[in-house]
Amino acid sequence: MGSDELEGLRRADSQREVFLCLVENSEPMSSQEIAGKLGLTVNAVNIALFNLNNKELVERVSRGVYRYKLGPILKELLEQFFGV
């Protein structure tokens, strides 16, 4: 994972929201849980998770359940980076 992947999240709102949701929760979450928490459709979350997984920012734990691959210490840094 490099800065290109993080820079791409700056332009991809749903991916950024899903990624930050997983970071904040710190436990694996299902796409349904993420959708409910963020007010997004399950389909939008699944697409975001697919793209995040391809960028190696999240990993699949089981069918439809993902967790982020970065340490919790990065939460504040990511929020500052994205200006959230």
pLDDT (average), residues 6-21:
81
Position 51, amino acid? N
- For residue 3, pLDDT over 60 is answered with no
pLDDT, tens digit (0-9, with 9 covering 90-100), for 73-84 = 566 677 778 887
Position 44, amino acid? A
- For residue 1, pLDDT over 50 is answered with no
Domain ranges of the chain: 3-82
Compute the distance between CA of residue 1 and CA of residue 66 in angstroms, rounded to an integer.
17
Name the band, by pLDDT with cuts 50, 70 and 90, for residue 8. low
pLDDT, tens digit (0-9, with 9 covering 90-100), for 24-39 = 997 999 999 999 999 9
Q: Class of the 3-82 domain?
A: mainly alpha
